[in-house]
Structure 1
């Protein structure tokens, strides 16, 4: 095996085992994503250093990349008025390296992933789903054996990673005539997600499966229209999400969702929405959610709405963009999302249905859970997009180098 081949094999192993590694160490995906990206980068360099620049810079000339880079530029500009520049830089220092690794992986791995890697990935997903289910059924025996924190939510991040990776990996296997393994990947991933206590992971599974099915059955324009409407509303309604849910959710719904802390989530959304209403134009600055209760805009919010601004983040990535980056950030995020859908529209079936399923899954999760700049989330998305691009035929991969990873 050539030097490039050995590097590709190492990168393929790392990409494949990410879901299982997350079960064993639920902060490991950024490291794995970074190492896999370096392996494929070194492999491409060894194979054809002259073409590497084209592979990496070509996708950055597209409108989609322009919108995404403008969003990142605005995030950097917002550091100028962040009241906590050290905290903002710390968040940026976690987010940007992982984002770069995810970009490298999505650009360089497709077409170079070894043939054994998807099957290894299927084994990793199967073991991850089983371990989550067995560990929770055994009162977290695995966590006790490893001497770690005994809490059921330790499996939330692995379950969310399964959500992202399972569909694209199953598509790779299905198109590689391993349809039994593709079904097993979806089944074991669903087992881990449904057995976990993460309502966000279960919502993501439902939204992703529903969107993929609709995209297969409906005409192209209808499927894309539904996806665009959902993403547009997620951005536009984020600042008033809390008020809308406070009026619309009956008490019975809160009782059924007691494990998901729905009342607290609604109150948090209302508090951050009030902060956005107080200063919608530029936001408090990138990465300020962790100390949002101390920001100047928080002092303008009524005292009864101020307490929950200290929870660390608004449990809604779209609302987090509004709170930290204001209207310009929200507009640039919406533009990036719409251009992403335009890129997906050029895919053929079943790739388009799987891609829209991934978008719906990720958007549903982002609307109710986690810090949008978290490195583990960025790494999981990078792995999912890499598998999505790997599902395309070799000639389509070559043609899509100018478009890059959506």
Structure 2
């Protein structure tokens, strides 16, 4: 085995076991994805360092990359008016290295992931789903044995990671004729998601599955327009989400969603929405959600609207963009999402359906949960995109007869 092949094998193992690593240590995905990216980077360097530059730079010449880089530039510019620059820098110090690792992985891993890795990933997904289900059924015996915090929500991040990765891994296996492996990956990942207490993970599973079915059954244009409408509304309505839900959500719905703290989530959304309405133009600054109750814009709100600004984030990444980066950040985020859909539109089936399922799953989760700058979330998305690109590589290489830029 050549040096490059050994590095690819190491990277493939790390990429494959990442979901299981998250079950065992629910903050581990940034480190695992970072090491996997370094392994593939080193392998490409050993294999052909001249071509490496094209693999890394070619994707940056696209409109999608231009919009994403403009968004990042605005986020960096927002450091200038952040009232808590240390907090902002700490957020970016966690997010940016993981984003770079995810980019390297998505550029360099496809076409070099070893043949054994998809089945290993399916086994990791299946074992991860089973461990979540069994641990919760056994009153978190695994967490007790490991000497960690005993709380059911420790499996929320792993469940969300299973959500993101299962579909793309199953697509790779399906393309390679391993249909039973693909089915097992999906079934056991779904078991872990459904058994977890994460309403966001379950919503993501439902949204992703529904979008996949719709994209398979509906004409290409209708499915893409539906996805575009959903993303556009998610961005545009984020500042008024709380007010809309407060008016439209019946009390019976709150009773059914009592474990998801729906009343508190609506109140949080209303508070952050009021802050956006007070200063919609530039936002409070990157990463300031962690201390938003202390920002100047929060001090201008009525006392009753400031209480829930101290929860750490608005439980809606689209609203978080508005609150921290204002109208320019929201416009650039929307542009990036639309250009991403344009890229997805060029895919053939079933790649397009799986990609749209991933988009719907991630958007549904982002609309109700987590901090949008979180490194574990970025790492999970990077791994999912890498598997999606891997699914298309064998066909692309066969058509071209050579390995082009990733």
Structure 1: which 4+ aligned runs deviate by more than 4 Å?
397-404
Separation in structure 1 between the aligned mates of residue 223 and residue 343 of structure 2, nearest angstrom: 14
SS at match of 2:341: helix
- Could you tell me which residue of structure 1 aligns to residue 192 of structure 2? 192
Instruction: Give, in angstroms, the shift of residue 361 of structure 1.
Output: 0.1
- Could you tell me which residue of structure 2 aligns to residue 262 of structure 1? 262
Q: Would you say the 8 A contact 1:107–1:401 is kept in 2?
A: no
Q: Would you say the 8 A contact 1:292–1:309 is kept in 2?
A: yes
2:93 is the counterpart of 1:93: yes
Separation in structure 2 between the aligned mates of residue 396 and residue 284 of structure 1, nearest angstrom: 45
TM-score by length of 1: 0.98
Separation in structure 2 between the aligned mates of residue 393 and residue 274 of structure 1, nearest angstrom: 47
Q: Would you say the 8 A contact 1:59–1:402 is kept in 2?
A: no
- Could you tell me which residue of structure 2 aligns to residue 103 of structure 1? 103
Q: Would you say the 8 A contact 1:62–1:403 is kept in 2?
A: no
Q: Would you say the 8 A contact 2:110–2:393 is kept in 1?
A: no
TM-score by length of 2: 0.98
Separation in structure 1 between the aligned mates of residue 255 and residue 56 of structure 2, nearest angstrom: 50
Instruction: Give, in angstroms, the shift of residue 395 of structure 1.
Output: 5.1
- Could you tell me which residue of structure 2 aligns to residue 114 of structure 1? 114
Separation in structure 2 between the aligned mates of residue 195 and residue 234 of structure 1, nearest angstrom: 27
- Could you tell me which residue of structure 1 aligns to residue 340 of structure 2? 340
SS at match of 2:312: coil
Separation in structure 2 between the aligned mates of residue 228 and residue 160 of structure 1, nearest angstrom: 23
Separation in structure 2 between the aligned mates of residue 377 and residue 3 of structure 1, nearest angstrom: 31
Give a deviation string over 1:89-144, Cα, whole Å, max 9, x none: 00000000000000000000000000000000011001000000000000000000
What are the equivalent positions in structure 2 for 1:321-400 lying under 5 Å apart?
Answer: 321-394=321-394, 396=396
- Could you tell me which residue of structure 1 aligns to residue 245 of structure 2? 245
Q: Would you say the 8 A contact 2:11–2:35 is kept in 1?
A: yes
Separation in structure 1 between the aligned mates of residue 173 and residue 255 of structure 2, nearest angstrom: 41
- Could you tell me which residue of structure 2 aligns to residue 82 of structure 1? 82
Structure 2's unaligned 5+ residue stretches are none
SS at match of 2:392: coil
Separation in structure 2 between the aligned mates of residue 216 and residue 185 of structure 1, nearest angstrom: 20
SS at match of 2:98: helix
- Could you tell me which residue of structure 2 aligns to residue 15 of structure 1? 15
- Could you tell me which residue of structure 2 aligns to residue 307 of structure 1? 307
Separation in structure 2 between the aligned mates of residue 403 and residue 108 of structure 1, nearest angstrom: 9
Separation in structure 2 between the aligned mates of residue 311 and residue 86 of structure 1, nearest angstrom: 19
Distance change (3 Å), C-alpha of 1:321 and 1:401: farther
Q: Would you say the 8 A contact 1:15–1:36 is kept in 2?
A: yes
Distance change (3 Å), C-alpha of 1:270 and 1:279: same
